[in-house]
Amino acid sequence: MNHAVATHAGAESIIRMEAVNKWYGTFQVLTGIDLSVRTGERIVICGPSGSGKSTLIRCINRLETVQKGKIVVDGIELTAGGKNVDAVRAEVGMVFQQFNLFPHLTILQNCTLAPMRSRGMSKEQAEEVAMKYLTRVRIPEQAHKYPSQLSGGQQQRVAIARALCMSPKIMLFDEPTSALDPEMVKEVLDTMIGLAEDGMTMLCVTHEMGFARSVADRVIFMADGKIVEQAPPGEFFGSPKHEKTKQFLGQIL
């Protein structure tokens, strides 16, 4: 399988999850998750609704905590207690299905808020960085508008730019195109492909299988809180092994 995007994945693991188990009350949402992600690796996570995909990636920036197991992100042990939250949030950017922009702030202000508050940047510095990334996602001219004045695709590109303004080492995407009108999906995927080309470590929950084929180094299939199967895209789509994977791919392809 020829990847459209050359791989940048290095040898060392930037994310390590070992025997991770998580419960919401009595419901076990993650069961025995072992996952290592190398620096520069691009991972696509797919699986049926409710299989624990969002929960899994939210554990990586500690939006969720786990009861059992170990999670280490760029040398920061997340399972050691609460004090590492800020450190890890500064390294891990996240983009959600629903954009989550602050509606009362302009696009520029959305992008400068966190760098000023948690990176200690001056307003001028933060605005310069913000304009750099808004240019990169090709909407610098929208900087002084409010989120509601932008299309969904534009808002999602702002959300990506906003995350990049913190210079993250890892980017998490949770179904970033699922809430978009079909004609806007491509512009967001193209932005993500650009990030991949630049060597960003990325974990993307998505059912955009074209994206997975051309960008992912590895596709992970989850069901019932477990990693059921994982393989490079050629193998994953060409010869899925597990019955649940076959069933799932049969439904979405």
- Strand ranges of the sheet holding 226-231, from the earlier edge strand across to the other edge: 92-95, 170-174, 201-205, 42-46, 218-223, 226-231
Integer Cα distance of 162 and 2 in angstroms: 32
Site membership for Mg ion, residue 54 (CB under 5 A): yes
Site membership for ligand ADP, residue 26 (CB under 6 A): no
The conformation of residue 147, written as its DSSP 8-state character, comes to: G
Q: Residue 24: which of Mg ion, ligand ADP, none does it interact with, CB under 5 to 8 A by kind?
A: ligand ADP
Integer Cα distance of 56 and 98 in angstroms: 18
Helix residue ranges per DSSP H, the chain: 53-60, 85-91, 107-118, 123-136, 152-164, 182-197, 209-215, 233-238, 243-252
Site membership for ligand ADP, residue 54 (CB under 6 A): yes
Site membership for Mg ion, residue 206 (CB under 5 A): no
Binding test (CB under 6 A) with ligand ADP, winner from 14, 15, 20, 29? 29
Contact 68, 99 (CB under 8 A): no
Q: Kindly give the pairing relationship between strand 13-24 and strand 27-38.
A: antiparallel
Region near ligand ADP per CB under 6 A, out of 50-58, 85-93, 133-141, 210-218 = 50-58
Instruction: Identify the three-state secondary structure at position 139.
Output: coil
Instruction: Select 133 or 173, whichever has its Cβ closest to Mg ion.
Output: 173
The least CB distance from residue 70 to ligand ADP, in Å, is 20
The least CB distance from residue 158 to ligand ADP, in Å, is 23
230 burial class (0-12, 13-18, 19+ CB within 10 angstroms)?
middle
Site membership for ligand ADP, residue 51 (CB under 6 A): yes
Site membership for ligand ADP, residue 203 (CB under 6 A): no
Site membership for ligand ADP, residue 204 (CB under 6 A): no
Site membership for ligand ADP, residue 24 (CB under 6 A): yes
Site membership for Mg ion, residue 110 (CB under 5 A): no
Site membership for ligand ADP, residue 251 (CB under 6 A): no
Contact residues toward ligand ADP (CB under 6 A) are: 24, 29, 47, 49-55
